[in-house]
Structure 1
Amino acid sequence: MTQEGTQTRPLGVSRPDLAVADLPSPEEVFKVSRLGPKELFKYAVGPSLIALGISIGSGEWLLGPQAVGQYGFVGVGWVILVSALLQTFYNVECSRYVVATGETPVVAWGRVPPGYLLWVPLSVFIVIFAFIAGGWAASAGQGVYALVHGEVPPAGAEEPRLWAIALLVLVFLITAAARRISRALELANWIMVGSVLVALLLIDLLVVPFGQWWDAVRGFVTPAAPPAGITATQIGALAGFTALASGLNWYVMGHYRDKGYGMGHRVGFIAGLRGERREILASGVTFPENEANAGMWRRWYRLLLVDMWGVFFVGAILGMLLPTMLMARAVELSGQRPTQANVPTFVAAALNEEYGRGMFYIALIVGVLILFSTQLGIFEAMVRVTTDAAHSTSPRLRALIEGDPRRFYYPFMIGLLIVIAIILHFALPVSLVQWSANMSNLGALIYPFLLMYLNSKLPRPARPRWWHYVILVLNFLFFGFFFVNFIADFVGDPLVTF
């Protein structure tokens, strides 16, 4: 084991040893004299908001409401709750490694045998493959079309796709205008997520009867089998995209490095074009095992728990509960059920018939904010994951870009934008989202075990307790089951029907 005063600490295989330095204090990182409640929310809370901005999106505005609109709350709500609980635990474990080493997960996977030549490119491929279909972007484009024209877009219309592409360009502009990209995403999500949750709460209080509130809450906390008739693809997508992206949630947790949590403060961050030139260390930094660092680790871990359980989990549950109740009410008002083609604008159309154009436009604005926050987070994260992977594993690339990750980040973002713009033309938005969600469940078959390997080798104060490993295995069983069932359904007949 590494003792205080040594320069490096080995961890895993095929990657350089971690440098060793003391953990910084939260006050040092956030430049405050004392981290009280005000400072906590002003400076420390943040990465969970980026994750929550993605979370309150495709699952919450499309898949969850569609499932509830077709099958009701019982059996659907329970899957949502279990998924949110398991994913929040998983997020904490992914972030534990980032805070303890400053390495993002996509880089960390390269330390797991047989090494980075397998895990790093495979992980980048899985993330790109899962999200490049662009259903999140296409759905946002449908909402903007309805907002501009005051009506639901006709089937196969081209203009919603053009709006989706325009929103991708907006993501590029937001990141380009930032000094620190993660901070820009945090501020954007403070506005969007806050506005969405307040607006949904007010709308639900206005239009949803108390009986439906009770049905929704009861459906969330009542253990029940999935409802008869729901398909393996639908229930797997709902499980995968409730809260975030099940086994692929790690692709967002690297923001804790850029926020400066723990050893992330020693490693660096990706700056925007307006920011000063920044280098990111190719390998991470961890802390020596002594009482001072153990005490500092406990402080950082408490901040992580507040960020994840106090913001992400609560927001994810509200973000699924409020839209699904609204969808149930829209189904009752319209006498119809949402389809894959109309679910992005179904609620707005139903409220228009009952409450007039004002409510129609409010619902559309909420939907666009929900879907754009998802678009912002997912599109940027695909670029971020690829940039971190390439920068950390390729000395030749680091030399080519002269240590400035932006020289890879922005050209890759433009190329990815072009590819997604082409793919958007091939399928309905919700079917694209269902594909992405089920591909997210694939990650649950792989990454919980990689995470157990890595976290077991951290300095002792940062290592998980035994029951954390049990919960990671439960992630594997729960989400892995839905992925296997989805593949069986895709190639023939599902293993389990409901």
Structure 2
Amino acid sequence: MDQAFDVRPSSDDTRPLGVSRPPLAVADLPDPEEVFGVRRIGPRELFQYALGPSLIALGISIGSGEWLLGPQAVGQYGFVGVGWVILISAVLQTFYNVECSRYVLATGEAPVVGWGRVPPGFKLWVPVSVFVIIFAFIAGGWAAAAGQGVYALVHGAIPPSGAEEPRLWAIGLLVLVFLITVAAKRISRALELANWIMVGSVLVGLVLIDLFVVPFELWWEGIRGFFTPAAPPAGITATQLGGLAGFTALASGLNWYVMGHYRDKGYGMGFRTGYISGLRGDRKELLASGVTFPDDAANTARWKRWYRLLLTDMWGIFFVGAMLGMLLPTILMAHAVEISGNRPTAASVPTFVASALDAEYGRWMFYLALVLGVLVLFSTQLGIFEGMVRVVTDAAHATSPRLRRLLEGDPRRFYYPFMLLLLVVIGVVLHLAVPVNLVQWSANMSNFGALIYPFMLMYLNARLPKAARPRPWHYVLLGINVVFFGFFFINFIADFFGDPLVVF
């Protein structure tokens, strides 16, 4: 439910954090019950009100990596030597998500705004961060793949190579994302509800299909592959593995672009700083700078409660969902390879499983697999497209007093025109390459973020109130993120301009 906008500072004190941005105001952390408007947070209230931002991330997650890159890699090379990359990536990314969200809960600032506090300041890091997000996802491979699925649903056949109609369907789905945000009172809440439906339907549907058609041996092979350390299979490139690592779970070093939804949900100090409402929403305020809490016993106790909710949301929903979301499609793809005698290519992977099941089990299975595929890819499309718009809106609104005056305190006046502009640009770009190749490009660009943002998180989180600061081993795990995902990006660049550093 919506709350009245009220920072309610506990004193006139402010707290400096970093450089080039205004100091943070100081106010008490709210209780979760105050934020969600309930008497107590029991199991029902937990799922009905408190959990949810991780579902937006999970909706993106169960898409480009889980439906395209993972099944393609397994379909071509098998589970062993690939599965451990998936597991390590999911663990590291979930931990990284928690650290990004730690900053949001403690300050109420979206990460793109927080980056402006890292030396040398917002004039470098805010535009760089906006550019990296747009550059990574503007290719529109996720949209193009969804368009292929819709074409197959409408025509009952796989689209021919180079067909224009799938691209038009992709653009139509982008328009649908725009309409969902227009109809929302609170955009983040609308995305949560959409993903409860889509992600839930996808996971239940995949479990039923896999139980019906996939032999037990393949289930065991898939699970064993996650926990079997082995050299990557011969023939797979580090660029393919890097794409798989980058888009397993979410988007490796760029995951921060989704974590601002915790602010809009009202987690922690996000309750004090506002949110982006839809056109049907009443509240328009969004603070340009964050609010943090004093170091005292009462706020430390409240912080621990918020942090437990964050861990429940991320590890209980996001991590578990991401692992199921990778296991279920990949074992289905492995079975499709067995029964068809073929292997998926970059062009055929969005509809490969549906075609194989059609030939073996009949038309009904063809359509069921296509429906699940479209839901998977549309949930990805929904989160990525809205996320790009959100990052640019947050960055522009927070850093430009002149723009805030022009917007008259209503960030929606920027949000919706920019979304329409971005829709046109993506509609042009997605005509340029095969969907899976576009997705691999985006995934490896996500790995680039892992060379930068973990270090920036270390800087910011070390300066939070004492109760919110990470423990020493958290910094070690952030460093492992840099090494793991950074390796794949460096190899991708070497491969792009000449010869890869590593060949398997």
Q: TM-score under structure 1 normalisation? A: 0.99
How far the C-alpha of 1:4 sits from its partner, in A, is: 7.7
Mapped to 2, the partners of 1:245 and 1:384 lie a distance apart of 16
Whether the aligned pair in 1 keeps the contact of 2:10 and 2:28 (CA below 8 Å) is no
Q: State whether structure 2 residue 63 is matched by structure 1 residue 64.
A: no
Amino acid at match of 2:192: E
**Alpha-carbon contact 1:4-1:289 (below 8 Å) kept:** no
The letter of the residue matching 1:19 is: A
Match of 2:5 in 1: none
Q: Is the 8 A contact 1:4 1:290 kept in 2?
A: no
Partner of residue 351, structure 2? 345
Residue in structure 2 matched with residue 404 of structure 1 by the alignment: 410
Confirm whether residue 84 of structure 1 aligns to residue 90 of structure 2. yes
In structure 2, the residue matched to 1:374 is: 380
2:246 pairs, out of 227, 237, 240, with 240
Could you tell me which runs of 5 or more consecutive residues in structure 1 were left unpaired when the two chains were aligned.
Answer: none
Counterpart Cα distance in 1 of 2:233 and 2:35: 49
Letter in 1 for 2:254: L
In 2, Cα distance between equivalents of 1:65 and 1:190: 23
Instruction: For 1:95-494, list aligned pairs within 5 A.
Output: 95-494=101-500
Superposed CA RMSD in Å reads 0.8
Task: Give the conservation status (yes or no) of the 8 Å contact 2:93–2:252.
Answer: yes
1:387-422 superposed Cα distances (whole Å, 9 cap, x missing partner): 000000000000001010000000000000000000
Q: Aligned to 1:7, what secondary structure does the other structure show?
A: strand
The one-letter amino acid paired with 1:130 is A
Count of residue correspondences: 496
Deviations for 1:169-216, whole angstroms, at most 9, x for unmatched residues? 000000000000000000000000000000000000000000001100
In structure 1, what is the Cα distance between the partners aligned to 2:111 and 2:232?
33
TM-score (norm 2): 0.98
How much has 1:224 moved relative to structure 2? Answer: 1.3
Alignment partners' CA distance in 2, 1:225 and 1:127: 32
Query: Is the Cα–Cα contact under 8 Å of residues 199 and 366 in structure 1 kept in the other structure?
Result: yes
Distance in 2, matches of 1:451 and 1:415, equals 31
Q: Give aligned-pair identity as a percent.
A: 80
Partner residue, 2:3: none
Q: Distance in 1 between matches of 2:484 and 2:93?
A: 11
Whole-angstrom distance in 2 between the partners of 1:478 and 1:4: 43
What is the rounded CA distance, in whole Å, between the counterparts of 2:187 and 2:452 in structure 1? 29
> d(CA) in 2 for partners of 1:278 and 1:175?
15
For 2:282, the aligned partner's letter is E
Higher mean Cα deviation, 269-278 or 40-49? 269-278
Cα distance in 1, alignment partners of residues 119 and 232 from structure 2: 38
Alpha-carbon distance, 1:223 to partner: 1.1
Structure-1 separation of matches of 2:116 and 2:152:
45
The alpha carbon displacement at 1:226 in A equals 1.2
Q: Distance in 2 between matches of 1:46 and 1:265?
A: 15
The secondary structure found in structure 2 opposite 1:57 is helix
Q: Distance in 2 between matches of 1:5 and 1:194?
A: 44
Give 2:18's aligned amino acid. G
| 1:470-489 Cα deviation digits (max 9, x unpaired) | 00000000000000000000
Segments of 5+ residues of structure 2 without an aligned counterpart are 1-8
